[in-house]
């Protein structure tokens, strides 16, 4: 059985500490033991990060960029191996896992351009013989805490850009599926970067708390649920750290009567049930105009019933299991709750036929719930599973009001053939990421990812331009080289201005 330790200074570290079981969600078999970091290991990792930082700061921007490009090549060469590992402890089907890795590599590519995106700001002769400019300097040792649902992509949202900006990085992956995160850290160790520039600590919430308390950690990036995001944001502020904490979501799609229903239903099925619905951008609510609702449901139901759920190694499967038994039971409870609240379960995934070798896996099939009302508990919470809820709406104004009143503000989308409607929707919606005929409006690496309201705690989004600002601090320098005649001028104690 595998023992999963920690990755510090370029090698895996093991200790006689507490462990938790690591499961394969495809069949519920225990495949390893994950070590929970002791205070000694945490201190060792931080000391290693500080040492690597002191070496890394001497590397030129060009050298940093070269190392990150070297890393990008390693990721691409190992993409199939990484996808297989994701399937082993998360159960994600292979084509979905490959898509996750490729979206992560996009962020490495963005970080490779650090020489362009880290440029400062300069004004010559802003006052007589005075020049002023800004530089963006690294923070120091920074921490990333990542979720189970994207064990490769979300770390790649964080550490490549942080390292490109000149920081060192400590990563605490989810204890539910750390294998692929450990693997990509070991790949980075094959580059010419200093050992210890990227360290991995495994553990639980107590591990995260100890890391946040340490004054040597300068900033915290987090992606996970809203309650935990809020707690991490508050604790980071308590200990004087910069923090970006991305939380949960309840993402809505508005389907207008002029939408192309064949295209729209294909998009919604992919966005609702891909990755078993375990995405913070998963499409969980479809709001459909009354006059097309019956036709919409007829098409949606027929297509959904063709989905195949099962073992990750089967290419024919549409999606795999949920991550743990506890999570599967939680999602099932939400479906039961919706039924008890008066909803109609028009596609029921609670009793799917499981394939060979997956009888004990944590599987739920695609589920569609009709006649949902906004006062229902099942609507008001993030379900985070292969569940799509349907709300009937009269018009666009009704839909916009529903979305804006929801406590989450991560993503939403509209399906329409009318540009005027699309513009009105995007102008009036209070959501961080908006799609027009696109169900998963996840920005490219050249932009930044983040929601509003209870979906984001902090001022800066993750990756892209906001990510760079998060991992750097501004220093503004103002200089004058006085001419000899100015040295002999009269003493003046008045407040200096820029008009002289």
Residue 92 CA from chain centroid, whole number: 16
Catalytic-residue membership of 112: no
Token pair for residue 208? 């995260």
Catalytic residue among 280, 343, 412, 413: 280
Could you give phi then psi for residue 355, rounded to 5 degrees? -75, 175
CA 129, 131, 134: angle at the middle one, nearest 5? 170
The residues that are catalytic are 280
């Amino acid at each position: 059985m595998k023992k999963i330790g920690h990755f510090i200074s370029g090698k895996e570290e093991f200790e006689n500490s507490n462990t938790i079981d690591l499961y394969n969600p495809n069949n519920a078999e225990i495949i390893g033991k994950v070590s929970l970091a002791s205070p000694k290991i945490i201190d060792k990792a931080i000391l290693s990060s500080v040492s690597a930082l002191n070496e890394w700061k001497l590397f030129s921007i060009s050298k940093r960029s070269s190392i990150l490009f070297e890393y990008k090549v390693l990721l691409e060469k190992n993409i199939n191996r990484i996808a297989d590992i994701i399937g082993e402890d998360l159960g994600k089907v292979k084509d979905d896992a490959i898509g996750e890795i490729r979206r992560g590599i996009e962020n490495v590519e963005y970080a490779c351009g650090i020489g362009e995106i880290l440029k400062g700001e300069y004004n010559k002769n802003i006052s007589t013989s005075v020049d002023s400019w800004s530089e963006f300097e690294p923070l120091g040792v920074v921490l990333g805490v990542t979720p189970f649902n994207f064990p490769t992509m979300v770390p790649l949202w964080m550490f490549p850009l942080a390292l490109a900006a000149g920081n060192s990085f400590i990563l605490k992956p989810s204890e539910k599926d750390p294998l692929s995160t450990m693997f990509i850290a070991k790949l980075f160790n094959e580059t010419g970067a200093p050992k210890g520039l990227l360290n991995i600590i495994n553990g639980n919430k107590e591990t995260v708390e100890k890391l946040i308390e340490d004054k040597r950690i300068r900033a915290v990036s987090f992606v996970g649920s809203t309650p935990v995001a809020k707690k991490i944001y508050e604790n980071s502020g308590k200990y004087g750290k910069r923090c970006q904490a991305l939380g949960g979501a309840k993402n809505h799609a508005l389907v207008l009567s002029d939408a192309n229903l064949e295209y729209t239903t294909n998009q919604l099925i992919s966005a609702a049930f891909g990755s078993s619905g375990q995405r913070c951008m998963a499409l969980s609510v479809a709001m459909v105009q009354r006059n097309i609702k019956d036709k919409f449901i007829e098409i949606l139901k027929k297509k959904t019933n063709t989905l195949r759920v099962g073992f990750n190694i089967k290419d024919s499967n549409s999606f795999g299991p949920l991550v743990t038994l506890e999570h599967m039971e939680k999602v099932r409870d939400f479906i039961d709750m919706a039924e008890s609240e008066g909803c109609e379960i028009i596609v029921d995934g609670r009793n799917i036929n499981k394939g060979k070798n997956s009888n004990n896996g944590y599987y739920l099939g695609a589920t569609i719930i009709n006649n949902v009302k906004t006062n229902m508990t099942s609507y008001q919470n993030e379900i985070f599973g292969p569940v799509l809820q349907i709300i009937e709406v009269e018009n666009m104004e009704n839909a916009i009001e529903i979305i804006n009143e929801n406590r989450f503000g991560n993503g939403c989308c509209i399906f329409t053939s009318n540009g005027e409607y699309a513009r009105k929707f995007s102008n009036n919606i209070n959501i961080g990421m908006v799609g027009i005929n696109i169900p998963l409006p996840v920005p490219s690496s050249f932009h930044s990812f983040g929601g509003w309201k209870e979906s984001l705690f902090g001022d800066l989004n993750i990756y892209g331009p906001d990510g760079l600002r998060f991992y750097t601090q501004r220093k503004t320098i103002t200089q004058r080289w006085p001419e000899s005649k100015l040295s002999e001028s009269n003493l003046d104690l008045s407040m200096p201005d820029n008009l002289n």
